[in-house]
Amino acid sequence: MDLEGFGRLFLDQLPFEPTDQQIQLVAALTRFCSNFTPSDSVFLLNGYAGTGKTSLMGGLVRTLRAVGIPTVLLASTGRAAKVFGNFTGAPAYTIHRKIYRAPTLGPDGRFSARVAENPHVNTVFIVDEASMIGDGADGGADLLSDLVMYVYSGVNCRLILLGDTAQLPPVGMEQSPAMSVDVLKGMGLRVTRAIMTRTVRQKARSGILYNATQLRRALAKGITSAPVLTVSPFADVDVVDPEDMEERLRDSFETYGEGQTVVITRSNRRAVDFNIAIRQAIYDREEILARGERLLMAKNNYFWTRRSVLSAAEGEAAGQCHMDFVANGDMAIVEEIYSTEEREMQMFANVRLFFPDHNSRLDAKINLAALRSEAAGISYSDQQLLAAHAMAEAGLPPTASATAVRDCLKADPFYNALQVKYAYALTCHKAQGGQWASVFVDMGYIPPEAYTSVDFFRWLYTASTRATTRLHFLNPSLDIK
């Protein structure tokens, strides 16, 4: 099929009348997906909230499928992958699950994974929420380099990166490397870049997107003053006073459901406080863990999926998906609590978890210490106590070889217990990539000097655009219109 025919088919696949800007993007993507584009090319799409970039990707996926070109849809987190899959009508996967081989345990007791071979041919890889992809500058894995290595090791495969530079970059970074033309060119890629700035007409009346657009414009022009929140003309945005928070949360749970309501806050300490208060006030829970509890995975874990409730074949027969590993940021619901136990002054619960974003169930052990901790997970000293206990129980002397220590830790369920947080209130970085019908943005106790910083504008933009239906500003000190 020639370029004109592909472009017309692409436009026919869109369930809406495209804007001039969207038509230009269709033309650019048509050229990129053609045989005329060199195989070392990448398409970088910076699309702001409400511009329709994800809906356009759905049209592109359907068009490529119609002409026999396979696609692989990826995102940084399980929740982002589910959102992307729902928009496009095609299955989407996390980057980690797609590009890495089964992990191995190193002599330091840490799991690591190598990049797998790419078996795909003539395939277009489309990655959503690319602004969340790090390059290892924070000491973590160089996910961007690994993704590029995986995609371009395939035969005639190419990559489309979707993101929003107005959102928060990866933790500890000032800019998102995956959204940088210079970074991608430095990796030897030919970069085609497009920017979508125009909000589609049917969404222009949204107060959520109006406020997001004002924040994004201020970021683009240069911040000169604190933001002003616009509420009164819109039905989908409001301000909540602290004394009304409990009632408003109850209303939101009843209207949208527990899984579609979230509080987004600025710090781990605030998230802990909100989670404890919500559990007590809304659910009347005093115990540390209960059936029906919503949890957020705080650390990658490769141990428990090897002991999954169902084999991959059984899970597929039951309509469930097999999980290769439990990823940091995955959401889960506690279906059963079998027992609790203690080791090295740390409490553990043996549970069955349901992962709604993956439609998968897992029996696992949870370390309860992280639930009410301000830290991301359990402390290094607590982890070392568990390692020492595992070695002593296995009869290993302090002089044991690195291989013996590795094998011992690899098999110990306490050392490999899941580290989790409550999932009713999240920091913005943890919420990034997800969407909820009703979002409460906590704006209390923010120092006034932060209001004119780039970090604050990005934080507020990212938090606000997590909402799809209702956005609530909780206790703001900013001017309100």
pTM of the predicted model, to two decimals? Answer: 0.87
Give the pLDDT score at 138.
54
What does each of the 481 residues of the chain score in pLDDT, given as a tens digit?
789 999 999 999 998 888 899 999 999 999 999 988 998 999 999 988 888 888 899 999 999 999 999 999 999 888 888 888 888 888 898 898 899 886 665 555 555 678 999 999 999 999 999 999 987 655 556 899 999 999 999 999 999 999 999 998 888 788 899 999 999 999 999 999 999 988 875 566 899 999 999 999 999 888 889 999 999 889 999 999 999 999 999 999 999 999 999 999 999 999 999 999 999 999 999 999 999 999 999 888 888 987 654 444 445 444 455 677 888 888 999 999 999 999 989 999 999 999 998 888 999 999 999 998 888 888 889 999 999 999 999 999 888 888 898 889 989 999 999 999 999 999 999 999 889 999 999 998 888 899 999 999 999 999 999 999 999 999 998 889 8
Q: Which two tokens stand for residue 8?
A: 């017309």
Three-class DSSP category at 299: coil
Domain definitions of the chain by residue range? 3-201, 205-481
Nearest alpha carbon to residue 299 among 375, 200, 214, 350: 375
Cβ burial of 291 (10 Å; 0-12, 13-18, 19+) is exposed
Q: What is the pLDDT of residue 52?
A: 86
Superfamily of domain 3-201: P-loop containing nucleotide triphosphate hydrolases (3.40.50.300)
Q: Answer for the pair 271, 371: CB distance below 8 angstroms, yes or no.
A: no
Q: How many C-beta neighbours within 10 Å does residue 143 have?
A: 21
Per residue, what are the HEC states of 157-219? CEEEEEECCCCCCCCCCCCCHHHCHHHHHHCCCEEEEEEECCCCHHHCCCHHHHHHHHHHHHH
From its phi and psi, is residue 287 left (phi > 0), alpha (psi between -120 and 50) or beta?
beta
pLDDT for res 311: 45
Contacts of 294 by beta carbon, 8 Å cutoff, 6+ apart:
258, 259, 331, 332, 333, 422, 423, 424
Among residues 318, 316, 417, which one has the least CA distance to residue 363?
A: 417
